[in-house]
Amino acid sequence: MKSSCMRYSLVLLPLTLSALTLTVLFARTRPLPYPTMPIDSSSHVQIDFIPDKLDKPVDDDNTKYLAYLPHSGFANQRTELVNAVTLAIHLNRTLLIPPLFLGHVEGWQGEGKLWDTLADLTDPVRRLECSTSQDHDDEMCQRYDRFAMLRWSWACDLPLLTEKLGVQYIERRDMSLTALQASLGIKEDEIYKMTDLHPYAWDLRGQNLPLSHNPRYLAHYSMDDFRVPHKVLHLYGVFGEGRVTTDATERDAIKEILVFRNTDVQKTAFKYVETLGGVDQYVSIHIRTGDGVFRRTLASRIPMAIERLHRIIGDQREPVTNDLQVDTNDRLQWCKEHAYLGRKYSIIFVATDARDPRQDLAAVFNEFPCAVTLSDFSKSWLEQLKQASSIDEYKSIDRWLLTFVDAEIAQQARRYIPSPGSTFSGYIGAIHRQRQGTSYM
């Protein structure tokens, strides 16, 4: 008890200091009331968005809330949500789930910048203005063009969180603290704001577990350290696998619920899977190329990818038949007819964020004549995605759904090779293993 109190004050002191220094950042002025946004009627959302403006506070009971700031790509956002759901369960708080961002989303930011970044990205007034603006030089409007803002309940069956794990949640749309205060009818000091000064500022272990010693994280907390009395405990980023550890079975159950499942995406992917020969009839590889470290290291990773493909299809000792011309008009049909030539002609699906895969990953396609990627098929195959596409309030989202078509095709393969260091690759691997029943999430 005593040590827990001590730890509590140890957490509180630096947090309070950082909260104090950052208070000035939170003092956002924003005209109220906000415009009303159209809400998609097909949603499974269990408790609706926090309304932008309420006549009276949402709760007159003892409900306490947990919030956090999302960032980065899908897999990162998903890991954050998994961690946040875990914390909500053990702290007995209603989870305020942020929007799901697809496309170009800001990465983690220091110096408390994420607070303002998220408020800006989700600002309903600016988003509405930009949706009708003709000013193509407006920097904020250009930023909005680079991502879509959806709801997690659109991508996953969130009510299962309540049914299976007892988690209460509300989906948030405006991430500003002023909107949060207005929605809950609370004062600023009822929000306990935690501002991490480092992406791996802390990790946490659940009840009955010893504190972590993981050197990646700067501070190590127990669940009790997070039992603050405030109405809202608002965390900063909660990124990282292994950051919040409680019970492995519980974590698997959360992860299983938080899998991207969209019927239009699945139906679209299935057409490709059938053409590739059917479920478990081909090999897949994920090659992440698009940004940051992945772009810089691509040249050295391509030979590794080729080597792994050779090993997995098992063609190493086969003589190479060089003089055959593949029919590029119907590559897969040609490959199926020439399968007797050897395993080098195995069908391989390459999932990638490369802009021009046949050029950017030329070495892979030169080595494996029967390797194909989404861009090898007619664009008309993607028509169905348009049906899933009017979910963002202001724009169509087909281009960002391609990621999940790629993931779905890759996970239906017999063998799957991930891209080292990519959390999205890890996500595909997890759903692939789960489908094959070899291990859990």
Binding region for ligand GDP (CB under 6 A): 72-76, 286, 288, 290, 351-353, 402-403, 406, 422-424
Least separation in angstroms between CB 422 and Mg ion: 7
Give how many residues touch Mg ion by CB under 5 A.
2
Nearest residue (CB) to ligand GDP, 174 versus 408: 408
Which of Mg ion, ligand GDP, none interacts with 123 (beta carbon under 5 to 8 A by kind)?
none
Q: Is the peptide bond before 420 cis (omega within 30 degrees of 0)?
A: no
Least separation in angstroms between CB 73 and Mg ion: 4
Nearest residue (CB) to ligand GDP, 11 versus 75: 75
Residue reference for tokens 């960032």: 71
Least separation in angstroms between CB 77 and Mg ion: 9
CA-based nearest residue to 422, from 255, 239, 290, 288: 288
Which of Mg ion, ligand GDP, none interacts with 403 (beta carbon under 5 to 8 A by kind)?
ligand GDP
H/E run at residue 192 = strand 191-193
Nearest residue (CB) to Mg ion, 99 versus 124: 99
Least separation in angstroms between CB 104 and Mg ion: 11
d(CA 147, CA 308): 33
Nearest residue (CB) to Mg ion, 72 versus 384: 72
Nearest residue (CB) to ligand GDP, 19 versus 257: 257
Three-class DSSP category at 42: coil
d(CA 233, CA 163): 24
Least separation in angstroms between CB 350 and ligand GDP: 9
The size of the chain, in residues, is 441
CA-based nearest residue to 108, from 242, 217, 200: 200
40-99: contacts with Mg ion (CB under 5 A): 72-73
CA distances from 160 to 89, 255, 434 (A): 14, 11, 18
Nearest residue (CB) to ligand GDP, 112 versus 357: 357
In sequence order, which residues have a C-beta less than 8 Å from that of residue 127 and are 6 or more positions away?
144, 149, 393, 394
Least separation in angstroms between CB 315 and ligand GDP: 24
263-275 vs 398-411: helix crossing angle, rounded to 10: 50
Question: Does residue 357 bind Mg ion (CB under 5 A)?
Answer: no
Q: For binding to Mg ion (CB under 5 A), which residues are involved?
A: 72-73
